[in-house]
Amino acid sequence: MSNKDHLLEAVALAQAGDWDAAHNIAQDYSDSTANWIHAVLHKIEGDTWNSKYWYARTGGQQYEAFGQDVSAELAAIQQSLTADL
């Protein structure tokens, strides 16, 4: 399974409400997309400081960009991962 496949799995798990499983996958990678997923997961968790820490490592994503609409943000991550497939 490629990194993208694993990250798509993390997004799907997050969309299904399985925060822990999604987090376990996201923290295994250090690229900007994995960091974005990690940031969103901490936003879901309600840990603003930790979320902003991970957003700072995404290469341009911003905490405020999607507000609290994590569903739309996860869909955007999913779309970015599948755009290159």
Q: What is the pLDDT of residues 27-63, one digit of tens each?
A: 999 999 999 999 999 999 999 999 999 999 999 999 9
**Whole-number pLDDT of residue 1:** 59
**Whole-number pLDDT of residue 2:** 74
Q: Report the distance separating Cα 50 and Cα 38, nearest Å.
A: 9
Token representation of residue 52: 């902003």
Name the residue range of residue 67's domain: 3-82
How many domains, in total, are found in the chain? Answer: 1
**Whole-number pLDDT of residue 45:** 94
Q: What is the pLDDT of residues 69-80, one digit of tens each?
A: 999 999 999 999
DSSP 85: -
**Burial tier of 50 (Cβ tally within 10 Å: 0-12, 13-18, 19+):** middle
Task: Taking residues 1-28, report their average pLDDT.
Answer: 94
What is the DSSP code string of 14-77? HHTT-HHHHHHHHTT--SHHHHHHHHHHHHHHT-HHHHHHHHTTTTS--TTTTTT-HHHHHHHH
